[in-house]
Amino acid sequence: MARIFITGSSDGIGLLIAKSLISSGHEVVLHARNDQRAADALRAAPGAASVLVADLSSIQANIGLAHEANKTGGFDAVIHNAGVGYREPRRGNTVDGLPPVFAVNSLSPYILTSLINRPKRIVYTSSGLHRQGDGSLEDLEWNQRTWSGYNAYSDSKLHDVLLAFAVARKWEDVYSNAVEPGWVATKMGGAGAPDSLSDAPKTQVWLATGDDAKVTGRYYFHEREQGVHAAAFQADVQDRLLAECERISGVKFE
């Protein structure tokens, strides 16, 4: 039995991952944005060990979440599933004045990775749109560029791959990989999304628990390795992302 923490697991793909893992006998700690969603998550995923509450758009909330997660004990795997879509505005209700897409999709997994006690496996949720992301990493906060939610989302999904590969390179005792779940019919994906919702959680479950999934520094779609953005394997680009996230968050990756 593995002990697994899943961000963004009150609904959508995160909840499907949680229910699959629970049904296989694993101990699952859920995450929700607020108390109401936490209660909903526990009702939807009976058998979950607990649920932690934090708004991942806030730097301090992420730091607090990491500390609370560590208090519950160590994890065999952490699945960074939480994310927001391309319809978000440049500035939403983030207390730090950051674009919500960057704050939740990019900075949150960086902070949580840096502060949660190192698990055996980490899974980062990306997207096929990461291949359209900006590998220059210029203006991550979108202070100078003309805002594009689509481009910001693509950038953030590239950041997730860079983070997964940076962790794989720097932490040799951790299996760290990125996943493309597909364009599926969740609240983010919309009712007309063409990919299989039932298949969307399978690769994350496999990477988090599979005996034949002891791999690292790879990118998967439906348990098959896929090609990635040319910048993803570049150590200098990975290190620049880590440095920029440290500058913005004040949290150091070690």
Which candidate, 118, 92, 120, places its Cα nearest to that of 105?
92
State mean pLDDT over 84-88. Answer: 78
In DSSP notation, 150-175 reads HHHHHHHHHHHHHHHHHHHHH-TTSE
Could you tell me the pTM of the whole model?
Answer: 0.94
Asked, for residue 81, whether it belongs to a domain, the answer is: yes
Per-residue pLDDT at 186: 54
Task: Respond yes or no: is residue 175 known to be catalytic.
Answer: no
The string of pLDDT tens digits covering residues 31-75 is: 999 999 999 999 999 999 999 999 999 999 999 999 999 999 999
Is residue 79 in a domain?
Answer: yes
Q: Per the domain annotation, does 173 fall within a domain? A: yes
- What pLDDT sits at residue 85? 84
Nearest CA to 244 out of 145, 107, 59, 150 is that of: 107
Name the active-site residue from 19, 110, 124, 153: 153
d(CA 53, CA 61): 9
Q: Tell me the average pLDDT across 93-112.
A: 94
Residue 215 belongs to a domain with what CATH number? 3.40.50.720
The 10s digit of each residue's pLDDT in 146-192 is 999 999 999 999 999 999 999 999 999 999 999 999 554 455 555 55
Q: How far apart are CA 130 and CA 55, in angstroms?
A: 24
Q: What is the domain count for the chain?
A: 1
Q: Which residues contact 54 (CB under 8 A, 6 or more apart)?
A: 31, 33, 61, 62, 64, 65, 68
Domain with 108 in it: 3-249
> If you average pLDDT over residues 116-133, what whole number do you get?
98
CB atoms within 10 A of CB 220: 21
Residue 101 lies in a domain: yes
Cβ–Cβ under 8 Å, residues 185 and 191: yes
Q: Is 170 a catalytic residue?
A: no
Phi, psi angle pair for 3, to nearest 5°: -110, 125
Given a cut of 60, is residue 119 above it in pLDDT? yes
Residue from 19, 110, 157, 175 carrying the catalytic annotation:
157
Q: Which amino acid appears at position 236 of this protein?
A: D
Across all residues in the chain, what is the average pLDDT? 93
Q: Is the dihedral of CA 153, 202, 36, 192 positive or negative?
A: positive
| 254 inside domain | no
Residue 91 has pLDDT above 90, yes or no: no
Residue with tokens 């500058």: 247
Helix, strand, coil % in the chain, rounded to nearest 5 = 40, 15, 45
